[in-house]
Structure 1
Amino acid sequence: MDNITINATDRSILPPPAELREQPVWLIWRKERDPDSSNGKPLKVPYYANGGKRHGKQGGIDDRGRMTTFAAARDAAVRRGFTGVGLALMPELGITALDFDNCVDEDGRLPPEIEQIASQTYAEYSPSGKGIRAFVRGSYGNRKSPSEGNPYGFEVFSSNGFVTFTGNAMPYTDILGLEDTIADLDALIAPLCAARFQATTQRSFDPDDFMIGREPKTGQTLSQMEGLLSVLDPDMPRADWIRVGMAAHHETDGDDTGFYLWNDWSQNGEKYPSEEALRTQWESFDRRKGSGHSNITMATVMKMAKEAGYRDTGVDSSDLRQQAQEATSNLSHVDGVRTPDGYSGKFPVHGASDPALHQSTEWYIKGVLPKADLIVLYGQSGSGKSFVALDMIGAVARGKQWQGCRVKKAKVVLIAAEGSGGVGKRIRAYCKHYGLNEADLDIGIIRVPPNVIEEVDVKELCTALAFVQADIFVIDTLAQVTPGANENSSDDMGKAIRNIRLITEATGATALVVHHAGKDATRGARGWSGIRAAADAEIEISRNDTGHLISITKMKDGDDSQQWGFRLNQVQVGIDNDGDIETSCVVEYVEAPPKPVKSSGPKGKIQATIMERARHCGAGTPEGALMQDVIDASVGTIPFDPVQAEGEKKPRDQRRGNVTRAVTTLCNQGYLITRNDRLYVKGFEPHYTSEHTVSLLDASASNCFKSDFEDI
């Protein structure tokens, strides 16, 4: 295949997937001579959009502050005559770039394992045209396996380095509509990483070490192990999740006690595959015995738990009984269930009629923003969440009603950590819309993003908020004040939320945290599920074909069913230095649009297998797939043991009937479309005069499928 030259001045190239476009992780690059290269191959050197060469700590505050969005980087590359644009993968993105070097042959074909990946997620040709780059979900580290001794080079970027972006998408991307798809393909990528990076991670073992494989147990009881797992996020990186399973397997000698401990804990995560899949993984741990590798023990889990904040009380029940007896021996009797007046313990018991229990909730916006520790406002990129946050706090700063809700006037500080360059325009637009002078708006702005993971920044932020006596502080966004943190980690995000709560305790101010929605917006905010659990209130900002919507999704001691519709109106706010009009947006409220119906998707293992086999057979292409091929392929993936057990009837092979019924269901539900003897994934079917659902049961008896469709 001829080399492909990508020109950064070509604005028609395909942009990156939507969730990457507005992320401030983009750079520009140009080719420069490598003085150390013997073959004359140039280097791809990254620069910031302002023309300065990238330097210093990658992912540090200075580095992040100089990176920009895709469109801004592309325009800078045009102005400065650079070769192209690229991006720096940051850990909070939860995205890995897979770089396959010299994998495209002269006829444009790919190795099967790369083709499988490239046909299910956004993938593009490298600048040379001889390699492929694909973007997938998950973190696979920052590692490299060279071409020497391998059919192609393989490198992964998750939280470091620099990756060029060409926009020269592979044919699959256009045909299958994958322009905005960043898929979770762990089942394909994890084995590939294990095979290619094994040589660089292999430990050397001493064959004479008698203790290898005989590591002692920690003696943890079941309840103690449950306590350790209770502070760990089951959606942790796969390698850590496997270690937890191995440790439980070792501690319980591989019996069902350990399996169900691991299984019950894993079920709390969104990545939970199935009990059957876990059972297969559990049984594989037996094969580790005698391999010359050390066993993973519960000591590893204890370390992980302590890093996540777990503290072993070490309390003995007999000591507790003695302490309780001593404490109550001198207490006088009281009526009701309460501790007596003058009780000095840390946890007094209040009677049901105690006035302290019947105080009304205080509100900044009644029913919307409570006077509490933590409120989370989240939404997808482009949903308008920052504008909504400003509109709400603007009402609080002015003491004016918000959407008919009473408002308590308060001092507000906005931490503009994301898009700080545009915050001035947003405020000008807001003031112009409401006929205000900017000086009369009681909102303070912090333009330097703090790192709420770092103790120094937490103390500095606390001091600044206390100095201005802030009642509410807005963090826009959580990702920008947790640089380098893993959003899926209970350790990193738990520490961030704890530190934010410490600030609220010290200052008495309420934290309103603006956050991103996850890849599946129906599952809530992005990252660690503990964020929602910690929030006193949660507000979702969504956008679909019917409009924008504000929804209360959680409200302690309040109504969590309220919704408001809105649209974003553009407002002219001034003229820039080049004489061009500057604009921003304001929120205008309209009737709440209907929420789109959520699709449950194909259900069950058989239906999922059929959809996967259908795509494999070509149902996700305009040519479609033969129905018989899809059914045959699906039947072949379902296990069947024909051996008759003693004292039981000979087993009947019912796989074909089950698959045929499942195909009928998928057709009737619209996931698959039938045309004569072919199947199509919805959206790829040829045009016909009418659409009907088809029952395949009768036709399957003769292995001949018919339909009511007629070609136009």
Structure 2
Amino acid sequence: MRSEPARVGAEHFEALDRMRVEQGSHLSDEPWTPMDDALAELRERNGYARFDQEERHSSPPKRSRFPILHVDDLEIGADPVWLIDGLLPATGFGVIFGAPKSGKSFLLADALFHAAMGRAWAGREVMQGAVVYITGEGVEGFKRRLIAMRRHYEVEGRRVPFLLIPVAPDLGHASGDDLALIEDVRSYLASIGNPPIRAIAIDTLARTMKGADENAAKDMTTFVDNCERIGTAFGCIVLGVHHAGKDVAKGSRGSNALDGAVDVMWSVEKGEVCSTATIHHMKDAEAGATWQFRLLPTVLREGGAALQSATAAVVEIATLPGEAQHPAAKRNKPLPDRARLLLDVLTFAIGEMGEAVKGDSNVPHDLRSVARENLKRYLELRGYWDELITPAVNRANLSRDLKTLQARGIIGATATWLWLR
């Protein structure tokens, strides 16, 4: 009975390769030799895949640690610039800050929910995709907010890719939670068809510091570095919700390292009727745009003797983001006093009685408008209507001032409705 030949180890192939090199048959332009046949037969018999000898004996190209790009080789990339046009960039790191109960979390969640739906927000186009919202506090309340939003925007059952993580990672230390978060998010995205991820929100920044000192530049830099790794992994923007300092105008609470690292920063201030959002900082565009919003309470479940009621709130945009004022605009002739007063009255009226108008294609659907008849209630109340002149003159002044505001692009108007641009 013929015995099977003994298996040959890898070290024997090394010796054969050396012999082949000595014969010169490793060169690609040399003819195939008997040594090649012997080597191929041994490899096949012993389970080793045949591979190209030229690749085996050639050195891999050296990769440069610091790539050098010539100025003439640079091109403008085709990557998207904005997640929400002019308000949130598509990539980078940002912060939304404000005092407690100012509505900053409501505002950010509403903006990102529109991105997940692919609907314009506050009059601005969005880039549609998946959103991950991380909150480690008030989880049950935040769940109610999301339920209220999906009902309010009539998208229940449509699988809008807005994802909630109810556990705060440790991003204030080099704990590895950033990498674990990336892995878990990738795994879940794969289970729902890998939609592109557009934003990751961290609410709140302080909750994810896990004992690190937000006033220390070193600890805040660690937080920012972790966020940037997460954003780079998905090619999206990472947004932190943070508290304001003692003076909102001076920025967010904690180390200045945070302000220096952001690509975008919103501030939110609570008012009696509406809260005001302002682009406090924008790295690659102009800051200063402001807009107003308010929270509308909504009942999710009626209560009874054996069942507690459930309520939440949804965001309603009262005025659209105004463009930052350019130096040239500042030199323009200011509004006449009465037109300025009328603008203040109109802003107040929209804040109290404005509504979203449906069924009229001439009126923007994503902001609040006030009926002309309702505006008249505030003209005397807010001091615009002059009792010393006739009603006809008052009406003429009103018509003139409305035309002034409309001509300057400050307001929009139809025969029935008025709104702020």
TM-score, normalised by the number of residues in structure 1: 0.33
For residue 307 of structure 2, give the secondary structure of its aligned residue in structure 1.
Answer: coil
For residue 144 of structure 2, give the secondary structure of its aligned residue in structure 1.
Answer: helix
Q: Does the 8 Å contact 1:362/1:370 carry over to 2?
A: yes
User: After the TM superposition, which residues 274-285 of structure 1 pair with which residues of structure 2 at under 5 Å, given as runs?
Assistant: none
Does residue 550 of the first structure (1) align with residue 277 of the second (2)?
yes
Q: Does the 8 Å contact 1:549/1:592 carry over to 2?
A: no
The equivalent of 1:478 in structure 2 is 205
Q: Does the 8 Å contact 1:465/1:507 carry over to 2?
A: no
Does residue 559 of the first structure (1) align with residue 286 of the second (2)?
yes
Is the alpha carbon distance of 1:360 and 1:507 closer, same or farther for their aligned partners in structure 2, counting shifts above 3 Å? closer
Q: Does the 8 Å contact 1:548/1:567 carry over to 2?
A: yes
Q: Does the 8 Å contact 1:380/1:517 carry over to 2?
A: yes
Q: Does the 8 Å contact 2:290/2:321 carry over to 1?
A: no
- Structure 1 distance, partners of 2:68, 2:176, is 35
| CA-CA distance at 1:480 after TM superposition | 0.8
User: Match for 2:261 among 498, 520, 534?
Assistant: 534
User: Match for 2:180 among 455, 460, 467?
Assistant: 460
| CA-CA distance at 1:417 after TM superposition | 1.6
The equivalent of 1:581 in structure 2 is 309
The equivalent of 1:433 in structure 2 is 152
- Structure 1 distance, partners of 2:252, 2:109, is 19
User: Match for 1:499 among 222, 226, 229?
Assistant: 226
- Structure 2 distance, partners of 1:433, 1:448, is 26
- Structure 1 distance, partners of 2:200, 2:65, is 34
The equivalent of 1:394 in structure 2 is 113
| CA-CA distance at 1:428 after TM superposition | 1.3
User: Match for 1:403 among 105, 111, 122?
Assistant: 122
Does residue 511 of the first structure (1) align with residue 230 of the second (2)?
no
Q: Does the 8 Å contact 1:429/1:584 carry over to 2?
A: yes
Is the alpha carbon distance of 1:361 and 1:557 closer, same or farther for their aligned partners in structure 2, counting shifts above 3 Å? farther
Q: Deviations over 1:210-236 (max 9, x none)?
A: xxxxxxxxxxxxxxxxxxxxxxxxxxx
| CA-CA distance at 1:345 after TM superposition | 6.9
Is the alpha carbon distance of 1:358 and 1:519 closer, same or farther for their aligned partners in structure 2, counting shifts above 3 Å? same
Is the alpha carbon distance of 1:388 and 1:453 closer, same or farther for their aligned partners in structure 2, counting shifts above 3 Å? same
User: After the TM superposition, which residues 25-174 of structure 1 pair with which residues of structure 2 at under 5 Å, given as runs?
Assistant: none
The equivalent of 2:91 in structure 1 is 372
| CA-CA distance at 1:404 after TM superposition | 1.6
Is the alpha carbon distance of 1:561 and 1:593 closer, same or farther for their aligned partners in structure 2, counting shifts above 3 Å? closer
Does residue 489 of the first structure (1) align with residue 216 of the second (2)?
yes
Q: Does the 8 Å contact 1:427/1:438 carry over to 2?
A: no
Is the alpha carbon distance of 1:365 and 1:584 closer, same or farther for their aligned partners in structure 2, counting shifts above 3 Å? same
Does residue 448 of the first structure (1) align with residue 167 of the second (2)?
yes
Is the alpha carbon distance of 1:360 and 1:443 closer, same or farther for their aligned partners in structure 2, counting shifts above 3 Å? closer
Aligned residues: 252
**One-letter code of the match for 1:440?**
R
- Structure 2 distance, partners of 1:416, 1:541, is 19
- Structure 1 distance, partners of 2:176, 2:77, is 39
Is the alpha carbon distance of 1:576 and 1:472 closer, same or farther for their aligned partners in structure 2, counting shifts above 3 Å? farther
Q: Does the 8 Å contact 2:92/2:237 carry over to 1?
A: yes
- Structure 1 distance, partners of 2:67, 2:281, is 28
| CA-CA distance at 1:413 after TM superposition | 0.8
Identify the range of structure 1 (450-459 vs 572-581) with the bigger mean alpha-carbon deviation: 572-581
For residue 176 of structure 2, give the secondary structure of its aligned residue in structure 1.
Answer: helix
The equivalent of 2:101 in structure 1 is 382
| CA-CA distance at 1:460 after TM superposition | 1.4
Is the alpha carbon distance of 1:433 and 1:502 closer, same or farther for their aligned partners in structure 2, counting shifts above 3 Å? same
User: After the TM superposition, which residues 230-269 of structure 1 pair with which residues of structure 2 at under 5 Å, given as runs?
Assistant: none
**One-letter code of the match for 1:457?**
D
Q: Does the 8 Å contact 2:198/2:236 carry over to 1?
A: yes
Q: Deviations over 1:584-616 (max 9, x none)?
A: 11111113799xxxxxxxxxxxxxxxxxxxxxx
| CA-CA distance at 1:553 after TM superposition | 1.4
| CA-CA distance at 1:507 after TM superposition | 2.9
- Structure 2 distance, partners of 1:361, 1:456, is 29
* Structure 1, unaligned runs of 5 or more: 1-341, 595-712
The equivalent of 1:627 in structure 2 is none
| CA-CA distance at 1:543 after TM superposition | 1.4
**One-letter code of the match for 1:424?**
K
Q: Does the 8 Å contact 2:84/2:124 carry over to 1?
A: yes
| CA-CA distance at 1:401 after TM superposition | 0.6
User: After the TM superposition, which residues 349-368 of structure 1 pair with which residues of structure 2 at under 5 Å, given as runs?
Assistant: 349-351=69-71, 354-357=73-76, 362-368=81-87
User: Match for 1:348 among 65, 68, 77?
Assistant: 68
User: Match for 1:591 among 302, 308, 319?
Assistant: 319
**One-letter code of the match for 1:416?**
T
**One-letter code of the match for 2:289?**
Q
| CA-CA distance at 1:538 after TM superposition | 0.9
Q: Does the 8 Å contact 1:453/1:482 carry over to 2?
A: yes
- Structure 1 distance, partners of 2:131, 2:120, is 16
For residue 544 of structure 1, give the secondary structure of its aligned residue in structure 2.
Answer: coil
Is the alpha carbon distance of 1:350 and 1:544 closer, same or farther for their aligned partners in structure 2, counting shifts above 3 Å? farther
Q: Does the 8 Å contact 1:472/1:509 carry over to 2?
A: yes
- Structure 2 distance, partners of 1:491, 1:570, is 41
For residue 549 of structure 1, give the secondary structure of its aligned residue in structure 2.
Answer: strand
Identity of aligned residues (%): 31
**One-letter code of the match for 1:473?**
I
**One-letter code of the match for 2:245?**
G
Q: Does the 8 Å contact 1:487/1:528 carry over to 2?
A: yes
TM-score, normalised by the number of residues in structure 2: 0.55
| CA-CA distance at 1:581 after TM superposition | 2.1
Identify the range of structure 1 (468-477 vs 387-396) with the bigger mean alpha-carbon deviation: 468-477
Q: Does the 8 Å contact 2:289/2:321 carry over to 1?
A: no
- Structure 2 distance, partners of 1:445, 1:368, is 23
Is the alpha carbon distance of 1:432 and 1:532 closer, same or farther for their aligned partners in structure 2, counting shifts above 3 Å? same
- Structure 2 distance, partners of 1:345, 1:466, is 28
**One-letter code of the match for 1:397?**
A
- Structure 2 distance, partners of 1:488, 1:524, is 13
Q: Does the 8 Å contact 2:134/2:202 carry over to 1?
A: yes
Q: Deviations over 1:326-359 (max 9, x none)?
A: xxxxxxxxxxxxxxxx9957252542x6552465
Q: Deviations over 1:162-214 (max 9, x none)?
A: xxxxxxxxxxxxxxxxxxxxxxxxxxxxxxxxxxxxxxxxxxxxxxxxxxxxx
Q: Deviations over 1:40-80 (max 9, x none)?
A: xxxxxxxxxxxxxxxxxxxxxxxxxxxxxxxxxxxxxxxxx
Q: Does the 8 Å contact 1:549/1:593 carry over to 2?
A: no
**One-letter code of the match for 2:315?**
V
Is the alpha carbon distance of 1:485 and 1:432 closer, same or farther for their aligned partners in structure 2, counting shifts above 3 Å? same
* Structure 2, unaligned runs of 5 or more: 1-61, 323-421
For residue 270 of structure 2, give the secondary structure of its aligned residue in structure 1.
Answer: strand
- Structure 2 distance, partners of 1:567, 1:532, is 27
Identify the range of structure 1 (431-440 vs 528-537) with the bigger mean alpha-carbon deviation: 431-440
| CA-CA distance at 1:545 after TM superposition | 4.2
| CA-CA distance at 1:561 after TM superposition | 2.2
For residue 255 of structure 2, give the secondary structure of its aligned residue in structure 1.
Answer: coil
- Structure 1 distance, partners of 2:253, 2:144, is 27
Higher RCO, 1 vs 2 (CA within 8 Å, ≥6 residues apart): 2
- Structure 2 distance, partners of 1:409, 1:383, is 27
| CA-CA distance at 1:393 after TM superposition | 0.6
